[in-house]
Amino acid sequence: MNEANHNEILAESAARYLRNIGAENYAGVVFTIEFDTGAEQIEVLVTTQKVGAPTPHDLRIKAENQRDTLLVQLNEANELLKKLADIDFNQDFDRDYWQYLLGEVSLQLAATGGPTEAR
Note the pTM of the prediction, 2 decimals: 0.48
Listed residue (44, 50, 58, 51) closest to 17, CA to CA: 50
The string of pLDDT tens digits covering residues 31-40 is 898 887 778 8
Q: Which among 5, 14, 21 has a CA at the least distance from the CA of 49?
A: 14
Please answer whether residues 42 and 33 qualify as being in contact, where contact means their C-beta atoms are separated by less than 8 angstroms: yes
pLDDT per residue over 50-104, tens digit each? Answer: 999 998 889 999 999 999 999 999 988 888 888 777 766 666 566 777 778 788 8
| Distance in angstroms (rounded) separating the CA atoms of residues 9 and 76 | 55
pLDDT at 118: 46
Q: Which residues contact 28 (CB under 8 A, 6 or more apart)?
A: 45, 46, 47, 48
- Map out the domains of the chain as residue ranges: 3-49, 56-112
